Structure 1
Amino acid sequence: YGIDYSISGHLLFVNNQRSNLVSPLPSNHTNSLNITLQKVLNKQKYHFLSRIAFDWIHELLYWTDDTSIEVISIHRPSLRYVCVENSFDVIRNVAIDPLESLIIWIQWQESGDNDKIMRSSQAGTDVKVVVDYDLKYSYAFTLDVNSKTIYWIDSQLYTLSSIGYFGQNRRTIAKSYDLFSSSYRMDFFADYIYWTNDRHNAILRTHRTGSNGTKRFVVFKANVSIDAIKIVDKTKQPMIALNRCLNANCTHLCLPSGVQSFMCLCPSIKYYDYSAQEKCRSDDISKIMDEQQKPDVKHIADIVGEWGKWQFQLITFCFILWGVAAVNNMGYSFMAYDNDFWCSDVPPDYQFNLVCDRKHFASFTQTAYMLGYAVSGLIFAHYSDKYGRRPTCCGPKYRADISILGGIGWVLGYAAVPGLALWLQDYRYLLFVSLLGLGSMMVWYYFMFESPRWQITNGQTDRAEQTLRKALKINGKSDENLKQQLTELSAYLQEMQSHEKSVKNHTILDLVKTPALRKITFILWYTWIVNALLYYGLSFNMSDFGGNFYITFLLSGIVELPSQLLSALMLRYIGRCKLFGFFMLLTGVSCFAIIPVERDWIKVTFALIGKFGVSSSWNVMAMHGPELYPTVLRQRGLGAASVVGRIGSITAPFMKNLAATNGLALVMGLYGVLMLSGTVLVQFLPETKGREIPDTIEEAERAAYPTKVKHIKNKTNF
């Protein structure tokens, strides 16, 4: 059975699966509306109905039949629309929050993977994943529309859990085999969660916070299993939102598609009777046709494949480029190598005279290099959009692996620096080798394919076709349908460009205008600066800890290899904030541990642990940062953080001078304080693991600060 009700309409909707009918049970059977609705619903015979949900503001009745979610208006029940359709998984339960214009449902994975809790607008647009991990067998769930919270029971994990509509604040309220192993129906009212339990043939209750633990409160006990539960109270259907369809003037169906928006729709194609006298407007019917004929090609990988020889060539280039870049970047540690000196013995012809009162110029060479990084990033980011760039066109499945490969290339280049410096013994030769490597990459770059996506968006469709034909040939794929695929991809990219133009009114100031984004921005700026400062501060100045500089520098590079692999693995299982904080804490503690130590090998060991920690922290930050900003501000947010973070890398070379003047303990103490402060700050960032990335500023704000409405405590009515 499935049941729902309308307080204002005095209607109780009942789904009897034995007869596969949805029937309203009116309080007044003489009401013509109720009689008409019952006749139509009985005539339609909606088969295999699992659950029903009623929108009390727009008076819409939703239901699921395992493969789809459909809707009718109770005033025009013959017009039927499919909001959500899924041919692969099973949709078992559905709920509606008309205040937020949301459909929320549980989707069973028949493949055996984790189940999912999904959401979309009431028109079926903007489908998002709310939960997709640690969800095994969930049938019972319910909503608290006041606090915007989803509650569900997992009958396989034996847990009662909750999460916000937008994926925030997930928590396990209680765990008990006895209470939750056979529970398939539930509801929420005031501060309590109610659910049925087939083991006890009872309705049970617990506090929403889990404050009473797994203590069982039996509200009602029967001699047979209880098939459905619904608490009826006017506070559960607040009329505090406007009916978005009140003055919509739609010819057929009107469905809310947002908090302040609606969509005029025709009945779904498979249910539409074209012989009827009343025709749906052509522009409305075209919306449905467009929805059903959306292009399948949205990415270059949809044409050339997710992986092949073409992508391998591109990845090989990136792998080697990262290695060469590391030689050029980290080689400055040996080009301005610190020498022991006595100022009274400096020869007059000593080259560059980078000692005594001019010793800070050695650090300035590295600072100038880092400053060039910041400036070049701003310049080339602009011109790459204007004149093109070379792509890495793989599928989403391989993007994380490619990121790891690039990191490994950097580590190998980093580790090669001390060997080259020891072999060449002259900064000119070392500089020449690094420039020779970069020059070779520039020649190789010239023969690389241009980005087909960039070519399409800049009107070079013919060139894009040539590029894709070559890619298909290299990957051993047919180009028979290339023209059609290219047309679909062009249409999709044009649609995306139109969307991007609509959000271009956002500026960098939007990063600090709202509370959640302001907090995220300032914390990210701080952590970016601190991580850059410690990464380069430890890397450039390994000689401060004693031992052979060639060996310690080599070890500081090699230690990044387990950092790359381990941080990528841990990100799959541990929350971003916890992992971010852990690695920053590890780095800070390691820096403090160096201060009292006198033996060089112990100092070097703690320095290497700190280097591992800050490298891992950087990897987590690179993953967490993009997930924190909404789509409309993501590039601006990350670009601003990257530029601000250069303050740390520009300052890092002068830490050697500070240590020489005031002692190593001061620098390590400074590092430790900065990292421990960051450990605390990152705990105030929203957790994003397994959660949907926000698209708009409003979604980002709601995810960080969900609406808190005081529950009205009242007597429960059954």
Structure 2
Amino acid sequence: MSGVGEILKTVGDFGPFQRRLVLLTLIPCLSVAFHQFCQLFMVVDVPHHCNTSWIRAVGPNLTEEEQLNLTLPRDAEGSYEQCSMYSPVDWDLDSIVAYGLNATEECSSGWVYPSAQPPSLLTEFDLVCDRKELHDIAQSVYMMGLFLGSMIFGPLSDRIGRRPVILISVFLQGLFGVGIALVPHFYVYMAFRCVVGASVSGITMTILALATEWIGVSSRPKAVLSSHCCFAIGQMILAGLSYSIRNWRLLEIAGSAPIFAFFFSIQLLPESARWLVTKGRIEEAKKALQKAASVNKRAIPPGLLEQLKPETQTKSGGTLDLFRKKHLRKVTLIMSCAWFVNSLVYYGLSLNVTNFGLDFYLTQLAFGAVEIPARVGCIFLLQWFGRKKTQAVLLVLSGLVCLIITGIPEDQPVVTTILATIGKFTASASFSTSYVYAAELFPTVIRQTGVGLCSMLARVAGIVAPLIRLLSQYHRAIPMAIFGSAPVVGGLLCILLPETRGTDLADDTGDGCSPAEVCENANSSSENGHRKGKDGGQDNDDTKTTYF
């Protein structure tokens, strides 16, 4: 045992030092929320039709209505077709008027949009008709960036530290986020969004690890979920920003540039003392702990600090270490599945914000607002019911709501939106539980690798979610049926996981007993009113204190 846990109890579980650390995470969380969903408001559907200016060469005095009437076919409802036009001919105007045009073709010279429409991704890059699917593909490319970020920054954080990875990720997000507003081509836009997605993964995963490793067990969920509440506030801010700034390039700058304010507080961002100890950097860990104690106005007994020693032959863990031991293999497989299905239902609902039938700015505002009580309520759910029950029940509920939506008629948008909001509530609370639960299940030496692997699976779900939406062209209920059935299965699997409520963090994969055994022992002892220390020390009476 490295002894960091005992020293942190002396330093303080959630003093001014830890509260300052949580506050430092707020700006990145606001920016993360913007990048997750901003594209939905940059591709606003507007009336459009094929560019048929070719007829102006033979009829320069035609009115706009006459031009459209001669060059565009009409659909069954009598409106002009948006994706087809009559094939150009080399006749004179009188012949065209007398005989009309019959042969049709797809738009060959671009599209025409309302002149008063502010620039959007749709109008600037023609994301209509046969290019319409590029919208969902671009969202999947962003999710691919999240996947790559999970694969890169998780292990990197376990190797070079939490603080450097956070700073690198924040810098990349700000640089490429602002760069998106300057791109000349849509494919460059997708490439930049991919980099931003990678940086988002680096920020969310590493901030989670840093907060988890500095904050005591009793306050850990409150701290982690506070940043999640800030993410929800960011979604609400996005609704207001997108409503007031309709130019997509200005909107991108407004949402990306504030992240640079984070660099004014670089000196206040600490490195994880737990990580420093696992790397054998004991003196740096002592200085970090002494600084935390000083900010919290506490004193660490010199003898306790001198007992701080690294684990024997401690080394960085890798992805294979997650599968070598039976208890870690079970945790890894089930948590990866839970993150996958949770992400699938969360993004399945979030990315459908424009398709529920009501004003999507208000729907986004509701989606953001409902996440705040979901995140806050999750704190009490984790306290009352523990991690395992909360994770399982919330996943099952979010899936059942989506399955119910499949049976709601299209002419009931209010009912659909209300159910989607409930689904977003349960999916958000479940996601918050996943972050706390996964961080507690994996030991310090491979915590970021384990959480990174889970996050990678979640990002795979994020990549798939926009593509699943394309199945609605075959039947509108297919996407929601998939989004609903997957989390039900994942929730049932979570019953097999151990409980971690009230247990200290494991530092090494070779600790005295497996995390599952530690959790089970903690649960049985807490039921009797006592919790036994991880090192087999004396029991601490906590019958009057509820631990998270």
The question of whether the paired residues in 2 share the 8 Å contact of 1:452 and 1:468 is answered with no
Matched, 1:348 2:103: no
Give the structure with the larger helix fraction.
2
Q: Which one has more relative contact order, counting CA pairs under 8 Å at least 6 apart?
A: 2
The aligned counterpart of 2:250 is 429
The aligned counterpart of 1:375 is 148
SS in 2 for 1:574: helix
The aligned counterpart of 1:359 is 132
Instruction: Please show how residues 702-717 of structure 1 align to structure 2 within 5 Å.
Output: 703=517
Instruction: Please show how residues 74-473 of structure 1 align to structure 2 within 5 Å.
Output: 299=7, 302-303=10-11, 305-338=12-45, 342-344=82-84, 348=110, 350-381=123-154, 384=157, 385-386=159-160, 389=163, 392=211, 393-441=214-262, 443-451=263-271, 453=273, 461=283, 465=287
Measure, in 2, the Cα distance between the counterparts of 1:564 and 1:497: 35
The question of whether the paired residues in 1 share the 8 Å contact of 2:348 and 2:483 is answered with no
Structure 1's 489 and 639: CA in aligned 2 closer, same or farther, altered over 3 A?
A: farther
The question of whether the paired residues in 2 share the 8 Å contact of 1:527 and 1:678 is answered with yes
Matched, 1:610 2:423: yes
Measure, in 2, the Cα distance between the counterparts of 1:403 and 1:551: 27
Instruction: Please show how residues 9-48 of structure 1 align to structure 2 within 5 Å.
Output: none
Measure, in 2, the Cα distance between the counterparts of 1:473 and 1:698: 33
Measure, in 1, the Cα distance between the counterparts of 2:15 and 2:438: 30
Measure, in 1, the Cα distance between the counterparts of 2:403 and 2:162: 47
Q: How many residues align?
A: 399
1:689 Cα deviation after fit = 4.4
Measure, in 2, the Cα distance between the counterparts of 1:514 and 1:462: 31
Measure, in 2, the Cα distance between the counterparts of 1:401 and 1:309: 15
SS in 1 for 2:312: helix
1:666 Cα deviation after fit = 0.7
Q: Which amino acid aligns with 1:319?
A: L
Measure, in 2, the Cα distance between the counterparts of 1:463 and 1:575: 31
Rg comparison, structure with higher value: 1
1:463 Cα deviation after fit = 11
Q: Which amino acid aligns with 2:379?
A: A
Structure 1's 669 and 382: CA in aligned 2 closer, same or farther, altered over 3 A?
A: closer
Matched, 1:500 2:500: no
1:471 Cα deviation after fit = 6.0
Structure 1's 460 and 424: CA in aligned 2 closer, same or farther, altered over 3 A?
A: farther
Q: Which amino acid aligns with 1:682?
A: C
SS in 2 for 1:588: helix
1:614 Cα deviation after fit = 1.2
SS in 2 for 1:596: coil
Q: 1:676 pairs with 482, 488, 504, which one?
A: 488
1:663 Cα deviation after fit = 3.1
Percentage of pairs with the same residue? 27
The question of whether the paired residues in 2 share the 8 Å contact of 1:452 and 1:464 is answered with no
Q: Which amino acid aligns with 2:460?
A: I
1:510 Cα deviation after fit = 4.7
1:524 Cα deviation after fit = 2.2
1:375 Cα deviation after fit = 2.4
Q: Deviations over 1:390-415 (max 9, x none)?
A: 76544444322211211111111111
Measure, in 2, the Cα distance between the counterparts of 1:382 and 1:608: 35
Matched, 1:509 2:282: no
Unaligned segments of structure 2, at least 5 residues = 49-81, 86-106, 112-122, 167-209, 521-548
The question of whether the paired residues in 2 share the 8 Å contact of 1:578 and 1:683 is answered with yes
The question of whether the paired residues in 2 share the 8 Å contact of 1:300 and 1:452 is answered with no
Structure 1's 331 and 517: CA in aligned 2 closer, same or farther, altered over 3 A?
A: same
1:339 Cα deviation after fit = 5.0
Measure, in 1, the Cα distance between the counterparts of 2:83 and 2:40: 22
Q: Which amino acid aligns with 2:266?
A: Y
The aligned counterpart of 2:73 is none
Q: Which amino acid aligns with 1:423?
A: S
TM-score, L = length of structure 1: 0.49
Measure, in 2, the Cα distance between the counterparts of 1:462 and 1:640: 28
Matched, 1:526 2:337: yes
The aligned counterpart of 1:165 is none
Measure, in 2, the Cα distance between the counterparts of 1:593 and 1:337: 28
Give the structure with the larger strand fraction.
1
Measure, in 2, the Cα distance between the counterparts of 1:429 and 1:591: 35
The question of whether the paired residues in 2 share the 8 Å contact of 1:301 and 1:394 is answered with no
Measure, in 2, the Cα distance between the counterparts of 1:531 and 1:511: 21
The question of whether the paired residues in 2 share the 8 Å contact of 1:374 and 1:643 is answered with yes
Matched, 1:542 2:542: no
Q: Deviations over 1:61-113 (max 9, x none)?
A: xxxxxxxxxxxxxxxxxxxxxxxxxxxxxxxxxxxxxxxxxxxxxxxxxxxxx
1:528 Cα deviation after fit = 1.3
Structure 1's 523 and 400: CA in aligned 2 closer, same or farther, altered over 3 A?
A: closer
1:460 Cα deviation after fit = 9.3
The question of whether the paired residues in 2 share the 8 Å contact of 1:325 and 1:438 is answered with no
SS in 2 for 1:500: coil
The question of whether the paired residues in 1 share the 8 Å contact of 2:399 and 2:483 is answered with yes
Measure, in 2, the Cα distance between the counterparts of 1:536 and 1:640: 19
Measure, in 1, the Cα distance between the counterparts of 2:476 and 2:285: 58
Q: 1:625 pairs with 438, 451, 457, which one?
A: 438
The question of whether the paired residues in 1 share the 8 Å contact of 2:154 and 2:451 is answered with no
Q: Which amino acid aligns with 2:490?
A: G
Q: Deviations over 1:21-62 (max 9, x none)?
A: xxxxxxxxxxxxxxxxxxxxxxxxxxxxxxxxxxxxxxxxxx
Structure 1's 339 and 684: CA in aligned 2 closer, same or farther, altered over 3 A?
A: farther
Matched, 1:592 2:403: yes
Q: Deviations over 1:323-369 (max 9, x none)?
A: 22212322222123455662127671652121222222212222222
SS in 2 for 1:573: helix
TM-score, L = length of structure 2: 0.63
SS in 2 for 1:451: coil
Structure 1's 640 and 594: CA in aligned 2 closer, same or farther, altered over 3 A?
A: same
The question of whether the paired residues in 2 share the 8 Å contact of 1:336 and 1:363 is answered with no
